[in-house]
């Protein structure tokens, strides 16, 4: 593919790499469900998006969970923000839209959109 930028290729392959691990995909799926994409995870309504709550669903070591969250965050798939003692995780809706566009075959995403 000559008119598909290497930049996008690397960006999306990193995204899919982040989702390629069952634990990370599970985390992302949980976050997709608890936080309506497009809205910041509203903790007044739903209270299950902090790291500890994710951990209680996954049965892996805390250090492993932390590592996976860093991967998802680094790929741009999720946002993490400290709130007191807790760290709140939520889906990055901009990246979710980019992914949707990729699979829709949208030229904005497929052919170098150079907006950044």
Partner DNA sequence: ACTATAGTTCGACATATTTAGAACTATAGA
Partner DNA sequence: TCTATAGTTCTAAATATGTCGAACTATAGT
Encoded tokens for 115: 């907006």
34 and 46 Cβ atoms separated by less than 8 Å: yes
Q: What are phi and psi of 53, to 5 degrees?
A: -65, -40
- 68 contributes a contact to DNA by CB under 7 A: yes
Q: Which helix (H) or strand (E) holds 35?
A: none
Interface segment toward DNA; rule CB under 7 A; list 26-34, 66-74, 90-98, 104-112: 66-74
- 96 contributes a contact to its own copies by CB under 8 A: yes
Query: Which residue, 16 or 52, is less far from its own copies as judged by CB?
Result: 16
Site for DNA in 35-54 (CB under 7 A): 50-52
Among 54, 17, 15, 16, CA closest to 34: 54
Query: Which residue, 30 or 65, is less far from DNA as judged by CB?
Result: 65
Residues comprising the chain, all counted:
116
CB of 84 to its own copies, least distance (A): 25
Among 27, 31, 35, 65, binds DNA (CB under 7 A): 65
């Amino acid at each position: 593919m000559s008119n598909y930028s290497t930049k996008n290729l690397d960006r999306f392959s990193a995204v899919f790499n982040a989702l390629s691990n069952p634990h990370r995909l599970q985390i992302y799926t949980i976050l997709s469900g608890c936080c309506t994409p497009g809205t910041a995870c509203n903790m007044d309504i739903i209270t299950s998006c902090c790291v500890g709550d994710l951990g209680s669903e996954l049965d892996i070591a805390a250090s492993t969970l932390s590592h996976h969250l860093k991967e998802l965050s680094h790929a741009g798939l999720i946002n993490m923000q400290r709130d007191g003692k807790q760290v709140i995780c939520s889906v990055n809706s901009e990246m979710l839209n980019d992914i949707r566009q990729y699979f829709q075959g949208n030229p904005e995403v497929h052919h170098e959109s150079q907006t950044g």
